[in-house]
Amino acid sequence: MKKLSIVLTWLVTLLIPVVLVMGAVRIVLNQWYLDFEYRTPGFPEEPYGFTLQDRLTYSRIALDYLLNDAGIEFLGDLRFPEGVQVPEPSCSYMDDCTFMYNQRELKHMVDVKVVLQTLLKVWVWVLVIVVLLGVWAWRGGWLSEYLRGISRGGLLTLILIAAIIALVLTAFGVFFVAFHNVFFEEGTWLFFYSDTLIRLFPERFWRDTFLTVGGLAVLMALIVWWGARKISPPSL
């Protein structure tokens, strides 16, 4: 049992970054973040006519789509108000320029939804596993080893996130391309500046989002690292 508990504590160590990072992602996937981000000082204005209220309205609909069970028609049926249409050059790729999203954008949003909802399901299962291992550790008499694994996981998260934040701050373009190439087919996530997705979510939005997720993950990692050490025997 001793060898098994050691293996399981290292498993906990490796799972904690998943729990914390995806937990931070889930916190950000809420309307409060949109309300906050679009109002941050220096956030770029939309050159094709979206007002702040437009961005808030349409970005919330996009967020709802990513989290609900609706099909792509949830976005595909959206049209601009009467008298407004998609600006060039995006309009040249559409049969009806009154629709808010073109086919390239809709395909990408389907891909994003699949990836995001898969990751959220994995997060829930990982969280359940960590909790169940905690119960097993408590009943099996290896709780101190389990807490050691939790503490190491918090420290590992701090190291990983520190590296990512440094990359975002110094070479965001490189990081952004690499991130997308991991999860999406090459080239399917590139759009015109006049496309609705870029008008709603410019590069500044994503840079701030990665930093916000990283900051929340660091905060939670510090709490986990400190908390596990605090309630554990001095030998931890």
- Residue 180 has phi, psi (to 5 degrees) of -70, -35
The percent of residues in the chain predicted with pLDDT above 90, rounded, is 84
Closest C-alpha among 222, 22, 207 to residue 122:
22
pTM of the model: 0.93
Tokens of 128: 């359940």
Residue 62 tokens, joined? 């996009």
Cβ-contact 191, 23 below 8 angstroms: no
Question: Which pLDDT band holds residue 233 (cuts at 50, 70, 90)?
Answer: low
DSSP character string of 70-134: --THHHHT-BPPTT--PPTTGGGG-S-TTBSS-HHHHHHHHHHHHHHHHHHHHHHHHHHHHHHHH
The share of the chain scoring above pLDDT 70, in percent, equals: 98
Mean pLDDT (the chain, rounded): 93
Partner residues linked to 99 by β-bridges: 79
Q: Give pLDDT, residue 236.
A: 42
Specify the pLDDT at position 149. Answer: 95
- Between 81 and 210, the higher pLDDT residue: 210
pLDDT of residue 91: 83
At 150-204, the pLDDT tens digits run: 999 999 999 999 999 999 999 999 999 999 999 999 989 999 999 999 999 999 9
Is 46's pLDDT higher than 60?
Answer: yes
CA 28, CA 34: separation in Å to the nearest integer? 9
What was the pLDDT predicted at 75?
97
- Give 115-153 pLDDT, tens digit per residue: 999 999 999 999 999 999 999 999 999 999 999 999 999
Q: Which is nearest to 153 in space by CA: 25, 26, 28, 21?
A: 21
Asked whether 17 and 130 are in contact (CB, 8 A), the reply is no
CA 85 to CA 215: how far, in whole Å?
Answer: 38
Task: Report pLDDT digits (tens) over 60-71.
Answer: 999 999 999 999
Confidence of residue 95 (pLDDT cuts 50, 70, 90): confident
Predicted pLDDT of residue 153: 97
Confidence of residue 92 (pLDDT cuts 50, 70, 90): confident
pLDDT at 1 over 80: no
The residue among 4, 10, 2 whose CA lies nearest residue 148 is: 10
